[in-house]
Structure 1
Amino acid sequence: MSGQPKGWEAIRAEVLRRIRARDWAPGEAIPNEADLAAEFGCARATVNRALRDLAAAGVLERRRKAGTRVALHPVRKATLDIPVTRAEVEARGQSYSFRLLQSEMALPPVPVALKLGLAPGSRLLHLRTLHLADGKPFLHEDRWLNPAALPQPLPDFAAISANEWLVTHVAYTSGDIAFSAENASDAEAAILGLPKGTALFVTERSTWSEAQPITAVRLAHAPGYRLHTLV
């Protein structure tokens, strides 16, 4: 496979073949993403997509700073890919647009800094974005980005949303995600055009590369949002 670019599905199939052939035994660490990308002649993000899919299926075990291993006892897991908001809106048959409300380098609040394990005084890129469906508020995205973990130069986030750019350009090896029902803050209610205290579906997510945090984001969905996943 070396020397020829491959799609993530082909890489997934080859990794699975090696596991089934016991080239990589249960419990054994597999090569890192950079080495696999060099072998397969593709972008690291493509390898990351293939390995994430196998991890979601329970074939691989991935841990931040510990690498990726063949699962000792493969199990079927629920899968949850990070969605592209534009694609979500368009899949509903609606027209997508977005507005960048804020973009600045700033000190993150303490909960964000602690979640990402940042050194005191670390500054991140703070973006607030309103996503719209047929011109109406669909999602408020409050995101903190670690420039040190991102390819440079950064794009114009007024032209492409941070959500879409990250999903298509930045590979991650681990993360965490939490879902909750919360009353809209005064600011969220104003941005989403809702009465104060309206109940919202909220997603909070952070992602990491092998060595450092990439982003922490809070997504406040307008009423009517539905989450889909696979089992």
Structure 2
Amino acid sequence: MLTGWEDIRTEVLRRISGREWLPGASIPTEEQLAETFGVARATVNRALRELAAEGVLERRRKAGTRVALHPVRKATLDIPVTRLEIEGRGQRYGYRLLLEAEDEPPPAIASRLGLAPGVRLLHLVCLHLADGRPALIEDRWLNPAVLPQKPDFHRQSANEWLLAHVPYTTGDIGFSAANATAEEARLLDVPQGAALFVLDRTTWEGDRPVTCVRLAHAPGYRMQTLI
């Protein structure tokens, strides 16, 4: 009986190694696999994401998932749960929701998400803390159409809630250094112009945009990944 994402991963690898799914061939959709295995779609999504990160599968928005023609080792870059990341460093985690409003996103955000002008999204701004000190500003635009229920973002960050409840199939991510604006400096309690590590990420579920988020980390943040 298959229950966890590790079980699904093992079964998918068995089908590939057994030549049931040939190199370059499309595999069934997440919905079809979830029904076949009798598990939640999010469980299938996690297994396929892991195999894509390992280079076994190739995932493309609007093109589905295929068995890689030439599997390669890729860097692994999971979306972390900020709370677990902070607690993993031995620090006490804190969270504050600063803004929750439905609004029309700026043109640059709408363009990244492939949305027509006038579409309204949920705008969330929150502050993550480590040992009582500001550590990260999370500025997020979220497509309410992907929410299976109305979350209480005062109790739990969108970062943690989405990773637990909303699957994604693909996305893009960018890294940059930026000088803290006056507002960012106030929220992070750093001098204006201080160097911040900034991460911009957009995720999709098939053809539907899920979220676009800007994460501004306080000075001293260190990111790690696997190769």
TM over 0.5: yes
Conservation of the 8 A alpha-carbon contact between 2:107 and 2:117: no
Which residue among 138, 142, 145 is the counterpart of 1:148? Answer: 145
- 1:25 matched residue in structure 2: 22
Q: Give the Cα–Cα distance (whole angstroms) in 2 for the partners of residues 194 and 43 of structure 1.
A: 43
- 1:137 matched residue in structure 2: 134
Q: Give the Cα–Cα distance (whole angstroms) in 2 for the partners of residues 64 and 184 of structure 1.
A: 34
Name the count of aligned residue pairs: 227
Q: Give the Cα–Cα distance (whole angstroms) in 2 for the partners of residues 143 and 185 of structure 1.
A: 17
Amino acid at match of 1:162: A
Amino acid at match of 1:230: L
Runs of 4+ residues deviating >2 angstroms: none
Q: Give the Cα–Cα distance (whole angstroms) in 1 for the partners of residues 68 and 211 of structure 2.
A: 27
Give, in angstroms, the shift of residue 22 of structure 1: 0.5
Which residue among 65, 68, 79 is the counterpart of 1:68? Answer: 65
Give, in angstroms, the shift of residue 142 of structure 1: 0.2
Give, in angstroms, the shift of residue 150 of structure 1: 2.0
- 2:198 matched residue in structure 1: 202
Unaligned runs of 5+ residues in structure 1 are none
Give, in angstroms, the shift of residue 95 of structure 1: 0.7
Is 1:9 aligned to 2:12, yes or no?
no
Is 1:86 aligned to 2:83, yes or no?
yes
Is 1:181 aligned to 2:177, yes or no?
yes
TM-score (norm 1): 0.97
Q: Give the Cα–Cα distance (whole angstroms) in 2 for the partners of residues 43 and 223 of structure 1.
A: 39
Q: Give the Cα–Cα distance (whole angstroms) in 1 for the partners of residues 222 and 6 of structure 2.
A: 27
SS at 2:94 equivalent: strand
- 2:224 matched residue in structure 1: 228
Amino acid at match of 2:159: N
Conservation of the 8 A alpha-carbon contact between 2:30 and 2:44: yes
SS at 1:179 equivalent: strand
Q: Give the Cα–Cα distance (whole angstroms) in 2 for the partners of residues 155 and 148 of structure 1.
A: 13
Give, in angstroms, the shift of residue 97 of structure 1: 1.1
Give, in angstroms, the shift of residue 187 of structure 1: 1.0
